[in-house]
């Protein structure tokens, strides 16, 4: 991004405390005040940490504009509500559209997102740039050994994983599928479309890991097919999955970015997201 430098990066909630004042009124309202003059051209890195942080982003954006910022480029690695990209049951909101409307109303010069859940998110955002997970996955695979097979965890991921395979030079892909109960979202069954995976390192690639049930059930099936090692690569890791259960059920390593989670462990390897966001995204 032209005009950007390290001093142009603002990050919530970890702004330099000399640059702002922030507090809440007795009624619960957030207040934000810049104490230094911003540059006219700003690249704003925002890490979503719950809906209150979204409100802080909106307040900060307004503060920057009122203080003289002309162009604000938003780097938004994890887009909230991206998984709620359709209405499954009567009475539910289309959450991704609600969040997208809030972002569009700020009229950012550009909005860069990393590996969104589906095409719905970029379709709803104005002046959006999409950074795919290709370079991130390639860097992870450089550190792995053995015969590698990519695993698409469900039908919704097939397009992205086959595109990733082409980018990586044609790595083999195994498709899987899961059946959910639409009433509560629970997985009823998992199927892997492969006969023999003996001697292979199966690399499951997906955009997000929450509780990890999808990958636990998939790992069980991959082990039944003879997989020697199972690696999970996810762009956004919530950190709520039970690591002991992931290990117990055959997942040997988890690789993720720090878009949502930054705690490293023996199981979880975390990569900084910022270098991937600064690279040119695909304009939609």
**With bands split at pLDDT 50, 70 and 90, how would you rate the model's confidence at 2?**
very low
Per-residue pLDDT for 38 more than 50? yes
Q: Which whole number is the average pLDDT over 207-222?
A: 94
Q: DSSP secondary-structure letter at 7?
A: G
Domains of the chain: 6-131 (3.40.50.2020), 134-272 (3.40.50.2020)
**With bands split at pLDDT 50, 70 and 90, how would you rate the model's confidence at 279?**
low
pLDDT greater at residue 108 or residue 182 = 108
Q: Which whole number is the average pLDDT over 175-187?
A: 75
Contact 10, 32 (CB under 8 A): no
Per-residue pLDDT for 23 more than 50? yes
> Burial, 212: exposed, middle or buried (Cβ in 10 Å; 0-12, 13-18, 19+)?
buried
Per-residue pLDDT for 188 more than 80? no
CA neighbours closer than 13 Å in the CB half-sphere of residue 175: 9
Q: Alpha-carbon distance 133 to 120, whole Å?
A: 17
Give the pLDDT of residue 118.
93
Q: How many other C-beta atoms lie within 10 A of the C-beta of residue 241? A: 23
Per-residue pLDDT for 1 more than 80? no
Give the pLDDT of residue 160.
96
Q: Which whole number is the average pLDDT over 159-167?
A: 97
**With bands split at pLDDT 50, 70 and 90, how would you rate the model's confidence at 6?**
very low
Render pLDDT for 58-104 as a digit per residue (tens, 0 to 9): 999 999 999 999 999 999 999 999 999 999 889 999 999 999 999 99
pTM value is 0.90
Tokens 């409307």 -> residue:
101
């Amino acid at each position: 991004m032209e005009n950007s430098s390290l001093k142009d990066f603002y990050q919530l909630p970890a702004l330099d405390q000399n640059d702002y004042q922030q507090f809440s009124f007795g009624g619960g309202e957030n207040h934000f005040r810049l104490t230094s003059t911003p540059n006219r051209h700003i690249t704003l890195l925002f890490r979503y940490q719950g809906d209150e942080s979204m409100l802080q982003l909106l307040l900060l954006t307004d503060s920057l504009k009122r203080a003289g910022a002309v162009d604000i480029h938003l780097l938004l690695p994890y887009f909230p509500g991206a998984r709620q990209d359709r209405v499954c049951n009567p009475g539910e909101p289309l959450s991704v559209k609600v969040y997208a409307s809030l972002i569009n109303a700020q009229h950012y010069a550009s909005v860069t997102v990393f590996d969104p859940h589906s095409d719905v998110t970029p379709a709803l955002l104005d002046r959006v740039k999409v950074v795919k997970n290709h370079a991130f996955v390639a860097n992870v695979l450089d550190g792995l050994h053995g015969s590698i097979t990519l695993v698409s965890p469900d039908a919704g991921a097939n397009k992205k994983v086959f595109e990733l395979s082409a980018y990586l030079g044609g790595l083999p892909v195994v498709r899987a599928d899961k059946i959910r109960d639409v009433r509560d979202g629970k997985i009823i069954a998992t199927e892997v479309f492969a006969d023999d995976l003996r001697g292979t390192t199966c690399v499951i690639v997906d955009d997000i890991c929450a509780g990890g049930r999808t990958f636990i059930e998939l790992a069980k099936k991959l082990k039944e097919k003879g997989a020697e090692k199972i690696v999970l690569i996810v762009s956004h890791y919530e950190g709520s999955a039970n690591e002991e259960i992931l290990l117990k059920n055959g997942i040997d390593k988890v690789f993720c970015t720090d878009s949502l989670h930054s705690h490293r462990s023996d199981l979880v390897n975390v990569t900084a997201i910022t270098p991937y966001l600064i690279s040119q995204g695909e304009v939609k």
